[in-house]
Amino acid sequence: MSQIQPIQRVAVIMAGGSGERFWPVSRKLRPKQLLKLTSEDRTMLGEAVERISPLIPADHVYIVTGDHLIAPIREAVVGVPEANVIAEPDKRNTAGALAFAAAHLIAKYGGDGSALSMAILTADHIIEDEDLFRRTVDRAMGTAEDHDCLATLGVTPTRPETGYGYIQIRPEPIEEPKDGLPVHAVGAFHEKPSFERAEDFIEEGNYFWNSGMFFWKASVFIRELEAVRPEMAEGVQKMAHALREADDLTLRAVFESLECISIDYALMEHAKHVLLVPATFPWDDVGAWTSLDRTLKHDENNNVAVGDPVLLDSNDCIVYNDAGTDHMAVAVIGAEHLAVVVTKDAVLVVHKDRAQDVRHAVDQLKAKNAKQV
């Protein structure tokens, strides 16, 4: 009688984004995930590694990023072996990144992926109660392993947020809760809604924020891709073979042939067997300067001040002096609802309602060949 192969759990942290909404602190070679936005002594990527490591040892934690960030990430010493920082051959959005990660791990661990359980995590979340986070991840990974399905975490909405996608569940859990954590079947994924629709989602009660965290066996990931993106599923197998053969030319050619598309559009919105574990730990997505309003302390006038700036008669502002007082004195007077960010070579002033548009300013600066991006 053949023995059942034990499951090997691994974590994949996606860290290839440029974080342009955090310009001018974020740069091409120092993107958001390498900034200390939510901790005085750890980068966001370092926090992500440390958060999962008690559940999945660092030797089995992998970081998928762009080739230009390999050296900066390794120099940042985020807590994983250098060989576990792997570079995509090109940019192909999150679906391409995860197809490449699956191929890399199948090639490394061997087999067809049926004994390889993957936790897909990100490097730009604030997560409190890390013990509850790990218990929730453990529940989601167990769900994916036991049901041969795709699993995700859904965050209970605390406000009618228009910047997040939503996941609709079927109300009745599919099994009895374990450790207080139920499992629900997913009914549908919904794109970023209008404010009014987001209010409706909260009122209806069976909608969760899409956390962007996913869990699956590598073999199930390929199987589900075969049903909706067969060319991408075939690409995973071809890339795994190329990696085993150290055939870099074929690896790059296959990767570059993949569709540039997000994992939500490519797979999650079309898959028929998706289960959700509610995430009840405090969670936030660090997506723009205004996210600091939800994570850092405020003064008596509702301002967030970093780097010891001077604020006079100002309300509801974020003032971030990255250069520090030894290099730059910053003062803001009589302002309201602004984010003011200062580095040694750049200044950003933006109304907080327009914080998502910082990336458009970065596009304009790139067009001018500005060296500060």
Q: Helical H runs in 112-258? A: 130-147, 195-204, 218-228, 230-244, 248-257
pLDDT of 225 reads 98
pLDDT of 2 reads 43
Distant-in-sequence, close-in-space partners of 54: CB < 8 Å, separation ≥ 6: 134
Residue 219, classed as helix, strand or coil, is helix
DSSP 37: S
pLDDT tens-digit series, residues 235-269: 999 999 999 999 999 999 999 999 999 999 999 99
What counts of helices (H) and strands (E) characterise the chain? Answer: 10, 18
pLDDT of 40 reads 79
**8-285 placed in CATH 3.30.70.20:** no
Of the candidates 288, 311, 308, the one whose C-alpha atom is nearest the C-alpha of residue 361 is 288
pLDDT tens-digit series, residues 148-191: 999 999 999 999 998 899 999 998 999 888 888 999 999 999 99
Distant-in-sequence, close-in-space partners of 328: CB < 8 Å, separation ≥ 6: 321, 342, 344
**Distance separating alpha carbons of residues 139 and 48, to the nearest angstrom:** 18
pLDDT of 39 reads 82
**Distance separating alpha carbons of residues 299 and 82, to the nearest angstrom:** 41
Cα four-point dihedral sign 212, 215, 218, 221: negative
For all residues of the chain together, what is the average pLDDT?
94
Q: Do the Cβ atoms of 143 and 154 come closer than 8 Å?
A: no
pTM across the whole model = 0.91
pLDDT beneath 50: ranges in the chain: 1-3
CATH 3.90.550.10, the chain: domain bounds = 8-285
At residue 268, φ and ψ (nearest 5 deg) are -60, -35
Distant-in-sequence, close-in-space partners of 197: CB < 8 Å, separation ≥ 6: none
